[in-house]
Structure 1
Amino acid sequence: MTSIVTPDLCDAYPEVAVLEPLFVNFGGLEAFFGPVRTVKCFEDNSLVRQAVNEPGDGAVLVVDGGGSTRCAMLGDRLAEQAAGNGWAGILMYGCVRDVDELAETELGIQALAAHPRKSEKHGEGQRDIPVSFAGVTLSPGQWLYADNNGILVADERLSLD
């Protein structure tokens, strides 16, 4: 994967949308990018499980978990599945767990916080729809770029070449 630096991208593309600085890096890859695919669910990670079991093809799974800090929506097993299926990363507007294992997984993962409790599993939620959080609306097909400096979203793939 090409190295990215979000400050350089912001300088080169001042029109990009930058998410509010709410997220913590939990994954083994500190920088990641790819086309956006979305899941919207609340305290039910059934659709997250479904998505990470599909080919990721270098995409970033953006999960609008409603900002819940009452349970984790991603743990070590789902992260391993995502990495194995070719996802570039996961942006979780919610919590994750198994953080020591996540840090060893070859996957970009940013989330609000860690929480030890697992989520419910009732099959509820929506996929491939625009989601809004952290001051930005993210839509399938946009490009997300994330590193330790922040997260930005663009309507097309960006390049510093």
Structure 2
Amino acid sequence: MSVPTTDLCDDFADELRVMNPMFRDFGGRVRFHGPVTTVKLFEDNSAVREALSEPGEGRVLVVDGGGSMRCALLGDNLAALGQKNGWAGVVVYGCVRDSAELATIDLGVKALNVHPLKSVKKGIGERDVTVTFAGITIQAGDWLYADEDGIVVARNSLVQA
């Protein structure tokens, strides 16, 4: 099931929060949606690995990386792990790496940009906390819808499975 974000905006404008248009597509899946799980961290992707190691069950991992442009928070290995474990997608407020490989993995990946340097691994980060970036606030349990035209978030599911 894939409903364009433009149609969702037309039909549910009062129920949506629309992210500022700053994200680029990197994954092999451009259109994705699902319930949100959040992580908040800064230049340490340990919490990303921890989350993507769990069964995704069609969820979308929203990573508040503070918008850092100094290292990548997701690469091909973590994306492949997320795809294997059933995640629908990952939205990174920060950078990714291995962009050519990411494009071959059946996982939605949106991020600000690319960076070749991997992050540190100190085990620092918060899980399922409220995050604010790109002009909106997102909570664990919200529903995120992403496609070529952008990213929108709602409190509840807006489409039938």
TM-score (norm 1): 0.98
Other-structure match for 1:27: 27
Other-structure match for 1:36: 36
Tell me the distance in 2 between the aligned counterparts of 1:5 and 1:115: 29
Instruction: State the 1:3 CA deviation.
Output: 1.6
RMSD: 1.1
Instruction: State the 1:118 CA deviation.
Output: 0.3
Alignment of 1:54-65 (within 5 A): 54-65=54-65
Give the aligned residue type for 1:67: G
Q: Identity percentage over the alignment? A: 57
Tell me the distance in 1 between the aligned counterparts of 2:69 and 2:25: 16
Alignment of 1:66-105 (within 5 A): 66-105=66-105
Other-structure match for 2:111: 111
TM-score (norm 2): 0.98
Give the aligned residue type for 2:12: Y
Give the aligned residue type for 1:102: L
SS of 1:57's equivalent in the other structure is coil
Give the aligned residue type for 2:108: G
Deviation sequence 1:62-97 (CA, Å, 0-9, x none): 000000000000000000000000000000000000
Q: CA 1:160 to 1:9, structure 2 compared with 1: closer, same or farther past 3 Å?
A: farther
Give the aligned residue type for 1:7: T
Other-structure match for 1:154: 154
Give the aligned residue type for 1:33: H
Runs of 4+ in 1 over 2 A off after TM superposition: none
SS of 1:12's equivalent in the other structure is helix
Q: Does 1:10 align with 2:1?
A: no
SS of 2:43's equivalent in the other structure is coil
* Structure 2 runs not aligned, ≥5 long: none
Give the aligned residue type for 2:67: G
Tell me the distance in 1 between the aligned counterparts of 2:52 and 2:125: 15
Instruction: State the 1:159 CA deviation.
Output: 2.0
Whether the aligned pair in 2 keeps the contact of 1:12 and 1:160 (CA below 8 Å) is: no
Q: CA 1:160 to 1:128, structure 2 compared with 1: closer, same or farther past 3 Å?
A: closer
Instruction: State the 1:160 CA deviation.
Output: 7.4
SS of 1:113's equivalent in the other structure is strand
* Structure 1 runs not aligned, ≥5 long: none
Instruction: State the 1:43 CA deviation.
Output: 0.2
SS of 1:124's equivalent in the other structure is coil
Give the aligned residue type for 2:38: T
Whether the aligned pair in 2 keeps the contact of 1:28 and 1:104 (CA below 8 Å) is: yes
Whether the aligned pair in 2 keeps the contact of 1:4 and 1:32 (CA below 8 Å) is: no
Other-structure match for 1:140: 140
SS of 1:13's equivalent in the other structure is helix
